[in-house]
């Protein structure tokens, strides 16, 4: 089941989100502050970052 963990870069909120397709990942918003600046906590960045337009998602949590 495609449930991804996200972390908000604005307020630091960590949450899980059911995501059907990769395109939806770019539409995920923080449930706490509503920011769209969220990053996936799983290492899916190697797959491609198709629509995020930012490579920071791969390096922001090391
Ligand atoms: Zn937030």
- In this structure, are strands 3-8 and 38-40 parallel, antiparallel, or unpaired? antiparallel
CA of 34 to the centre of ligand 1 (A): 6
Instruction: Identify the band that residue 51 occupies on the pLDDT scale cut at 50, 70 and 90.
Output: low
Residues with Cβ within 8 Å of 21's Cβ and at least 6 positions away in sequence, in order, are: none
CA of 35 to the centre of ligand 1 (A): 5
Q: Is the pLDDT of residue 61 over 50?
A: no
Query: Do the beta carbons of residue 60 and residue 39 sit within 8 Å?
Result: yes
Quote the mean pLDDT of the chain.
75
pLDDT at res. 33: 97
Go through the domains of the chain in sequence order and give each one's CATH number: 3-58 (2.20.28)
- Quick: pLDDT tens for 22-37: 777 778 899 999 999 9
Burial class (CB in 10 A: 0-12, 13-18, 19+), 8: buried
C-alpha–C-alpha distance, residues 45 and 31, integer Å: 22
More confident residue, 60 or 42: 42
CA of 47 to the centre of ligand 1 (A): 25
More confident residue, 22 or 5: 5
CA of 27 to the centre of ligand 1 (A): 14
pLDDT at res. 20: 74
């Amino acid at each position: 089941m495609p449930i991804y963990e996200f972390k908000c870069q604005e307020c630091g909120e960590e949450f899980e989100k059911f995501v059907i397709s990769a395109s939806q990942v770019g539409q995920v918003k923080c449930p706490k502050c509503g920011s769209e600046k969220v990053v996936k906590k799983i290492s899916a960045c190697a797959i491609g970052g198709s629509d995020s337009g930012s490579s920071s998602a791969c390096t922001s949590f090391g």
